[in-house]
Amino acid sequence: MKAIIQDRYGSPDVLRFADVATPAIGEHDLLVRVKASAVNARDWHFLRGDPYLARLASPVLGRKRPKTAIRGSDLAGVVEAVGAGVTGFRPGDEVFGDLREGDGAFAEYAAVPSRQACLKPAKLSFAEAAVIPLAGATALRGIRNVGQVKTGQRVLINGASGGVGTFAVQIAKHFGAHVTAVCRTRNIELVTGLGADHVIDYTRDDFTTAGPFDVVFDLVGNRSLTELQRPLVAGGIVILSGGGVSGNGKVSAVGPMGLYIKGATLGRLSRNTIRALNDVPPGEDLAVLKDLVESGAVKPVIDRTYTLSEVPDAIRYVEAEHARAKVAITVG
């Protein structure tokens, strides 16, 4: 099969379009013929081995080179075969899912743990379904699980026009919140179209002087904890999920993990709640996201689409921070 291969850390230039063996599947896996995948910020972080601290903790990253050769976690496709212990899926099913720590979606076939897959929303194309898992689950868990957003609460989303942000705006509105979106000028129409009640253009105004808000959902990672707490009501919640901005190719020492560590420490002393959103596979959240899509409450937004061989260009686009919403990869 064809796949995008990485055998060392570096820029998208280190990626190769090559022939590799089709993956074998285990007892509880699906062999999926990938029809589409998606690029996330984690892909350029893992491509560069950024930050250095993550190389010591991640099962995907090694200290000097990646442990897995094929990047990409989100996918949608058709089930080709199922493991002996799989129930609920059969060959021919159209599915979407998240490989997360396994990676391997930038390829023609992928072995997908059945617990991390779900039947694809029938109304969506493969590309539309493929951009949902990581970003959609992150937004859902931030708004529902950590923020515990309720009807009438005021929620600010920093990075509202990004991959996670476009889902977060819609999901917060679904839970009845008044949503303030933070984005740049060119993305105002996008976020208002998704339901944002108010927009702060960060090129003109400082969102940390606005408010008050019950929840601040930070998806950028470029502001301090003091700044993020400033617009909160007493006892409000700051949710940290920003991956940090590109360092122009330079690998950072701790990256956004530094903010998370500070949040865990200062959160014990603050009158507010400060929580980092853990990076865990979406599991049952995929079924919830499927229901939200089919009900019309949530729709995926795709900025650009690239082919499998163009994955390096797609990652360059996302890393340069030009992307709005999601970037999809068409495979088959």
Q: How confident is the model at residue 281 (pLDDT cuts 50, 70, 90)?
A: low
| pLDDT tens readout for residues 60-87 | 777 788 888 999 999 999 999 999 999 9
Contacts of the segment 299-303: beta carbons below 8 A, 24+ positions apart: 299/170, 300/124, 300/128, 300/129, 300/131, 300/132, 300/136, 300/166, 300/167, 300/325, 300/326, 301/166, 301/190, 301/194, 301/325, 301/326, 302/127, 302/128, 302/131, 302/326, 302/327, 302/328, 303/327
Which residues does residue 111 pair with via DSSP β-bridges, in sequence order? 31
Distance CA 244, CA 28 (A): 35
Closest CA to 243 of 272, 220, 211, 215: 220
Residue of 271 and 35 predicted with greater confidence? 35
Contact of 16 with 319, CB cutoff 8 Å: no
Q: In sequence order, what DSSP letters do the residues of 85-112 get, joined into one string?
A: T--S--TT-EEEEE-GGG---SBSEEEE
Q: If phi over 0 gives left and psi between -120 and 50 gives alpha, with beta otherwise, what is residue 100?
A: left
- The DSSP bridge pattern shows strands 29-39 and 74-82 to be antiparallel
Mean pLDDT of the 261-270 span:
56
Q: How confident is the model at residue 253 (pLDDT cuts 50, 70, 90)?
A: low
Mean pLDDT of the 101-110 span:
92
Q: How many CA atoms lie within 13 A of 274 on its CB side?
A: 21
Q: What is the pLDDT of residue 319?
A: 86
Q: How confident is the model at residue 8 (pLDDT cuts 50, 70, 90)?
A: very high
Which residue ranges does the chain devote to CATH 3.90.180.10? 2-131+301-330, 134-276
Closest CA to 72 of 35, 114, 40: 40
Q: What is the pLDDT of residue 42?
A: 87
Q: What is the pLDDT of residue 49?
A: 76
Q: Is the pLDDT of residue 175 over 60?
A: yes
Q: Over the chain, what is the mean pLDDT?
A: 90
Contact of 76 with 20, CB cutoff 8 Å: no
Q: What is the pLDDT of residue 62?
A: 74
Count the helices and strands in the chain (H runs, E runs).
Answer: 9, 15
Q: How confident is the model at residue 207 (pLDDT cuts 50, 70, 90)?
A: very high
Q: What is the pLDDT of residue 255?
A: 53
Place of tokens 């991390």: 116
Q: How confident is the model at residue 252 (pLDDT cuts 50, 70, 90)?
A: low
**For the structural domain made of 2-131+301-330, what CATH number should be given?**
3.90.180.10
**Percentage of the chain exceeding pLDDT 90:** 72
Give the CATH architecture of domain 134-276. Alpha-Beta Complex (3.90)
Q: What is the pLDDT of residue 251?
A: 59
Inter-helix orientation angle 133-140/163-174, to 10°: 40
Q: How confident is the model at residue 101 (pLDDT cuts 50, 70, 90)?
A: confident
Q: In a 3-state reduction of DSSP, which class is residue 76?
A: strand
Q: Is the pLDDT of residue 267 over 70?
A: no
Q: Is the pLDDT of residue 264 over 60?
A: no
Mean pLDDT of the 284-301 span:
96
| pLDDT tens readout for residues 15-67 | 999 999 999 999 999 999 999 999 998 898 888 876 666 666 777 777 788 88
Q: Which amino acid is at 131?
A: V
Q: What is the pLDDT of residue 61?
A: 76
Q: Is the pLDDT of residue 195 over 80?
A: yes
**Percentage of the chain exceeding pLDDT 70:** 87
